[in-house]
Chain A
Amino acid sequence: MATKPRRVPDEVATTPAEIAAAIEALTSGDWARLRRFADNRIWKLGPKADSRTRDDLIQMALTDLLADVRRWDKSKVGFMTLLTGAMKSISSNWARSYKKAETPLLEADLRRENEEGQIFSPLENVQDQSPNPEQRLHDKQTLELIDGLFKDDEKAQLVLTVWQEGYDPPGVRELWGLSQNEYNTIVRKIRRRLDAAALTADHDIRRN
């Protein structure tokens, strides 16, 4: 049985002033990571982003924290971990609530509070909508495009193949006997080649 996440107690939840201080403390690397991660989530959403942008996603994660929809226990997780976790959760909720041209309700209207005071959406328990033929074709073409980009790179192909099967980094390294450095080099090459091919974020073909 799935358990509900425990609510962070009032006494350790952060104040807006502490949140502002955490924003001020982010490094240039953090900002770059935040932007690229938001782009990654928007890319994953494809048409389900419904015109929402990376900035919308970042703002929503922050607003949820300020409005006490989500709480941050500073002693347990860092600000970046909290923000990126919130962005993951919010983008998943957007995906679940999306149904092209047939959704009469806003996800926000369906939000409810559980007995621990945590806001949740009933849509969290709803399976993703099956992709329509147009989206299925886009997904197929995107995978073929990615495959084509790395047809000359056997190591990248090995990683990409098992990523598609849901393997995590330690699992990939163990399966193919890669060291951490080898894995990092391959992954860096994958990211850069996909960026150069304009497949990620701003030029997402899934959104067409």
Chain B
Amino acid sequence: MSNKRTDEEKLDALIDALGDSILEASDEDILDELRMSGVAPEAEAARLKALMLGTVKAFRQRALEAARAAYGRQIEQMDKKPYSIPKTPEQRRKLFSFIAQQPQFAEFVTAQYRNLEDLTDNDIETYLEDLAELGILENLNDDKTDGE
């Protein structure tokens, strides 16, 4: 056995071994020892549980608030963002009709949008804004430019 250990190292090792023994001790032993040190196990368990669950709750609330704030910022940005969609209802309806007929955009045109006559100008404008937000219109412009 080495005698080169300092008192600090010896004490640290001893406390570590005691710590390990706490983790390995039976429930009965560890509960008895807590009682012997003047602590009521049930009350202490309830206190620690409340402390930890309170921390989890506070963390979840903070995460929720952060998500709400991020969503708010995203909506704000969308509201501010100018979309490059046609200015008149007729031009928009024409563009929408064109998109609806392109097979590569079929996945973006859900059943409710397939009957052009039933759609209001506002429906079409909103739908084109959504496509612009997704970058579909930009890609379409690029494709058309490339094609030309």
Spell out A's residues near B (CB within 8 Å): 16, 19-20, 23-24, 26-29, 31-37, 40-41, 43-44, 55, 58-59, 62-63, 66-67, 80, 84, 88, 131, 135-136, 139-140, 142-143, 146, 160, 162-169, 184, 187-188, 190-192, 194-196, 200, 206
Measured between beta carbons, the chain B residues less than 8 angstroms from A191 are: 18, 21-22, 25, 33
Once A59-B55, A191-B18 are accepted as A-B contacts, the answer to whether A31 and B48 lie under 8 Å apart by CB is yes
Measured between beta carbons, the chain B residues less than 8 angstroms from A195 are: 33, 36-37
Could you list 19 examples of A-B contacts with CB < 8 Å?
A16-B59, A27-B27, A36-B22, A37-B19, A37-B22, A40-B18, A43-B15, A44-B16, A59-B52, A62-B56, A135-B8, A139-B6, A139-B10, A143-B14, A166-B13, A169-B24, A190-B21, A191-B21, A192-B36
Tier of interface size on chain B? 35 or more
Query: B7 an interface residue at 8 Å Cβ cutoff?
Result: yes
Query: B31 an interface residue at 8 Å Cβ cutoff?
Result: yes
Complex contact B24–A165 (CB within 8 A) = no
Complex contact B5–A165 (CB within 8 A) = yes
Complex contact A33–B25 (CB within 8 A) = yes
Contact check: which of A23, A63, A142 meets B11 at CB < 8 Å? A142
Q: Is the interface of B mostly helix, strand, loop or mixed?
A: helix
Contact check: which of B22, B39, B45, B51 meets A59 at CB < 8 Å? B51
Cα separation A163 to B18 with both chains bound (whole Å): 9
Complex contact B19–A19 (CB within 8 A) = no
Complex contact A28–B59 (CB within 8 A) = no
Once A16-B60, A37-B23, A63-B55 are accepted as A-B contacts, the answer to whether A146 and B49 lie under 8 Å apart by CB is no
Query: B79 an interface residue at 8 Å Cβ cutoff?
Result: no
Complex contact A23–B49 (CB within 8 A) = yes
Cα separation A24 to B56 with both chains bound (whole Å): 12
Q: Which residue of B lies closest to A202 (CB)?
A: B37
Q: Is the interface of A mostly helix, strand, loop or mixed?
A: helix
Contact check: which of A26, A28, A131, A164 meets B5 at CB < 8 Å? A164
Q: Which residue of B lies closest to A163 (CB)?
A: B17
Complex contact B24–A26 (CB within 8 A) = no
Measured between beta carbons, the chain A residues less than 8 angstroms from B36 are: 192, 195-196
Cα separation A136 to B9 with both chains bound (whole Å): 10
Cα separation A59 to B93 with both chains bound (whole Å): 59
Q: Which residue of A lies closest to B45 (CB)?
A: A31
**Distance from A86 Cβ to chain B, minimum over Cβ atoms (Å):** 13
The 3 closest A-B pairs by CB, nearest first: A29-B27, A31-B45, A164-B10
Complex contact A32–B44 (CB within 8 A) = yes
Complex contact A44–B59 (CB within 8 A) = no
Measured between beta carbons, the chain B residues less than 8 angstroms from A140 are: 7
Q: Mark B24-65, 1 if CB is under 8 A from A, else 0.
A: 111101110110110101101100110111011001100100
Cα separation A29 to B34 with both chains bound (whole Å): 10
**Distance from A206 Cβ to chain B, minimum over Cβ atoms (Å):** 8
Q: Which residue of B lies closest to A204 (CB)?
A: B15
Cα separation A190 to B15 with both chains bound (whole Å): 11
